[in-house]
C-alpha cells in the first residue's frame, strides 16, 4: 500500500470515529435535555369533614355551616325522615360526616349513625336531589364463659369478674338482669338464697360490631349454686324464636308468678312486724318493700285482671290484680299508674303497670308488694311457685343435645359431678 493510501485510510478512520462520537454525544444530549412531564396522580376525589351540634344549635345551624340551607335542607330532611332522622332528637353526641367533591363548597353525601345497627347515608344524585339509604352495621357473635364465686352479691361478683373491655358496665347490668329476672326470676330469691362461696358459671353471647362496639347478646346456659346444689338453665327457641329456658331436668324456668315486681336495689322492708317510721309505732308489715329509683317501671308478677287502680289510703297510688286460684297481688306507693292500666284491664306477666314513687305512707322511693291467698296476706318470698312445664315431647331430643353441648363448656373437667347432680 502506498503512503497516500495509508493516509487516506487513517483520515477515514478518524472521521468515522468522530462521527460516532458526535452521534453518541448528540443522542446523550437529547436524552438529558428533552423535558419529561411528571405523571399526574389523583390521590383523592373528595374531602370529608365531621361535625356535631354546638351549644343551643338546631340541625339547621349545623347544615348551614356546610352550605345546605332553605328548601334544599327541607328536601334532605324529608328524604331522610323515613329512615330514622328526627331533627328534634339529634343530640350533640351524634356525629355527621360530610363528603365534599374536590373543588366544591357543598357536600354530595352526609352520613350519620342512626342506631346501634345502621348508618344513615343521605346522598345527592346527578340531578341535585337528595335520597337516603341505610347501611347496616355488621355484628359478630362471640361466646364467652364467665365463672366465679359469690362474696357479697351476684351483682358485685359479675362487675368484679368481667372487665370493661369484655363487656361495658351497662351491658354487664343487662347480663345480671337477664340472669336474675328473665331466667331465674321464678326460681331463686337472690336476696336470701345466695350465700358467700356459692359458685356461678355463665355462658353468654357477646356481640362485637364492625365499628368496635361491644354489647350483651343473650344468656345461653347458666349454673348458680344455692345450698350446695347447682341450678342450671339452658336456652332453646320457643314460638316466634323467643328465648325459652329449661332447667337440667327439662322443666321450664318460668312459673306462674315472678318473685319481684321491679328491678330493685335492695329490700328495704321485709314481711312481719316492724316499727313504722311515719306512724312511730310497731305494726304488722304484710308485704315486702323493694327500694328502687323513682320512676323505675313496676310490672305485673303474673297474668290477671286489674281490680283497683288509684289512691287507697296509706298505700298511696296502688294497683291490685286478681289472679287465678283466689290469689291477689298489690303494688303500692307508685309515683304514677301506667296510662293504659284501669280497673278491668287484663294484664300479662311482665307488663308495666306503674312507676316507683313515694305516695302514701312512704319515706323513700320503693314498691310495697303484697301477695294474698284467699284474701289473706302471706310472705311472697316464701311461696312455693311449683314446677315449670316440661320440654315439649317433640323437642326432647333437641333439648338433650343442647344440654350436652353447653355442659362441655359450662362445666370443666373438675366439675363433672356438679353437672350430673344438676341434671337429676
For the segment 116-160, what is each residue's pLDDT rounded down to a tens digit? 999 999 999 988 899 999 999 999 999 999 999 999 889 999 999
Query: Residue 268 has what pLDDT?
Result: 76
- 416 — alpha (psi -120 to 50), left (phi > 0) or beta? alpha
Confidence check: pLDDT of 246 > 90: yes
CA 360-336-191 angle, to 5 degrees, is 70
Nearest to 235 by CA among 223, 217, 247: 247
At 187 the pLDDT is: 86
- Give the whole-angstrom CA distance, residue 230 versus residue 241: 27
Report the C-alpha gap between 258 and 266 in whole angstroms. 17
What is the distance between the alpha carbons of residues 408 and 167, in angstroms, rounded to a whole number?
23
Q: Which fold has domain 266-382?
A: Glucose Permease (Domain IIA) (2.70.70)
Q: DSSP character for 26?
A: H
Instruction: Judge if pTM exceeds 0.85.
Output: no
CB-CB contact of 105 with 49 (8 Å): no
**Which pLDDT score, from 0 to 100, does residue 263 have?**
85
Q: Which cell numbers hold the place of 313?
A: 289510703
| 48-57, 209-218, 412-421: segment of lowest average pLDDT | 412-421
Q: Is the pLDDT of residue 63 over 90?
A: yes
Q: Is the pLDDT of residue 72 over 60?
A: yes
pLDDT band at 241 (very low <50, low <70, confident <90, very high): confident
Q: For 270-397, list the strands marked E by DSSP.
A: 272-276, 281-285, 288-291, 297-299, 304-311, 317-323, 327-337, 346-347, 352-356, 366-373, 376-378
**pLDDT given at position 32:** 53
In the chain, CATH 2.70.70.10 sits at 266-382
Residue reference for cell 311461696: 383
Q: Would you say residue 331 has pLDDT above 60?
A: yes
- Section 314-325 average pLDDT: 93
Question: What is the dotted CATH code of the domain comprising 46-136?
Answer: 3.10.450.350
Least confident of 54-68, 342-356, 357-371, 375-389: 375-389
Counting residues of the chain whose pLDDT is more than 70, the rounded percentage is 83
Q: How confident is the model at residue 83 (pLDDT cuts 50, 70, 90)?
A: very high
- φ, ψ (nearest 5 deg) of residue 176: -60, -45
Q: What percentage of the chain exceeds 90 in pLDDT?
A: 59
Does the pLDDT of residue 323 top 50, yes or no? yes
Question: What is the model's pLDDT at position 188?
Answer: 87
For the chain, where do the domains classified as CATH 3.10.450.350 start and end?
Answer: 46-136, 138-255+386-424
Based on C-alpha coordinates, what's the Rg of the chain?
37
We find that the CATH architecture of domain 138-255+386-424 is Roll (3.10)
Amino acid at each position: 500500500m502506498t503512503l497516500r493510501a495509508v493516509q487516506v485510510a487513517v483520515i477515514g478512520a478518524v472521521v468515522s470515529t468522530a462521527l460516532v462520537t458526535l452521534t453518541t454525544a448528540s443522542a446523550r444530549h437529547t436524552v438529558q435535555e428533552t423535558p419529561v412531564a411528571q405523571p399526574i396522580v389523583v390521590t383523592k376525589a373528595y374531602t370529608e369533614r365531621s361535625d356535631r351540634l354546638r351549644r343551643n344549635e338546631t340541625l339547621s345551624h349545623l347544615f348551614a355551616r356546610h352550605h345546605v340551607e332553605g328548601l334544599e335542607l327541607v328536601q334532605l330532611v324529608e328524604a331522610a325522615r323515613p329512615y330514622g332522622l328526627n331533627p328534634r332528637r339529634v343530640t350533640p353526641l351524634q356525629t355527621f360526616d360530610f363528603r365534599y367533591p374536590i373543588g366544591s363548597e357543598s357536600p354530595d353525601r352526609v352520613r350519620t349513625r342512626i342506631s346501634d345497627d345502621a348508618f344513615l347515608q343521605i346522598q345527592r344524585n346527578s340531578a341535585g336531589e337528595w335520597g337516603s339509604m341505610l347501611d347496616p352495621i355488621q355484628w359478630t357473635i362471640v361466646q364467652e364463659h364467665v365463672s366465679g364465686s359469690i362474696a357479697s352479691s351476684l351483682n358485685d361478683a359479675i362487675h368484679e369478674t368481667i372487665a370493661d373491655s369484655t363487656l361495658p358496665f351497662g351491658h354487664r347490668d343487662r347480663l345480671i338482669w337477664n340472669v336474675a329476672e328473665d331466667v331465674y326470676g321464678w326460681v331463686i330469691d337472690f336476696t336470701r338464697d345466695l350465700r358467700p362461696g356459692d359458685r356461678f358459671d355463665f355462658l353468654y353471647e357477646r356481640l362485637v360490631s364492625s365499628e368496635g362496639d361491644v354489647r350483651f347478646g343473650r344468656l345461653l346456659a347458666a349454673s348458680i349454686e344455692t345450698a350446695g346444689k347447682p341450678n342450671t338453665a339452658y336456652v332453646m327457641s320457643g314460638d316466634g324464636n323467643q328465648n325459652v329456658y329449661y332447667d337440667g331436668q327439662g322443666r321450664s324456668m318460668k312459673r306462674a308468678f315472678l318473685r319481684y315486681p321491679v328491678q330493685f336495689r335492695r329490700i328495704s322492708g321485709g314481711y312481719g312486724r316492724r316499727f313504722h317510721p311515719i306512724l312511730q309505732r310497731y305494726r304488722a308489715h304484710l308485704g315486702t318493700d323493694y327500694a328502687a329509683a323513682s320512676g323505675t317501671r313496676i310490672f305485673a308478677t303474673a297474668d290477671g285482671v286489674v281490680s283497683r287502680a288509684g289512691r287507697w289510703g296509706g298505700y298511696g297510688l296502688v294497683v291490685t290484680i286478681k289472679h287465678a286460684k283466689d290469689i291477689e297481688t298489690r303494688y303500692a306507693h307508685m309515683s304514677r299508674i301506667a296510662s293504659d292500666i284501669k280497673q278491668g284491664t287484663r294484664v300479662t306477666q311482665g307488663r308495666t303497670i306503674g312507676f316507683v314513687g313515694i305516695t302514701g305512707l312512704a319515706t323513700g322511693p320503693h314498691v310495697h308488694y303484697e301477695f294474698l291467698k284467699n284474701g289473706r296476706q302471706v310472705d311472697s318470698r316464701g311461696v312455693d311457685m311449683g314446677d315449670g312445664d316440661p320440654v315439649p315431647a317433640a323437642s326432647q331430643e333437641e333439648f338433650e343435645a343442647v344440654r350436652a353441648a353447653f355442659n362441655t363448656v359450662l362445666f370443666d373437667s373438675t366439675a363433672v359431678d356438679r353437672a350430673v347432680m344438676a341434671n337429676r
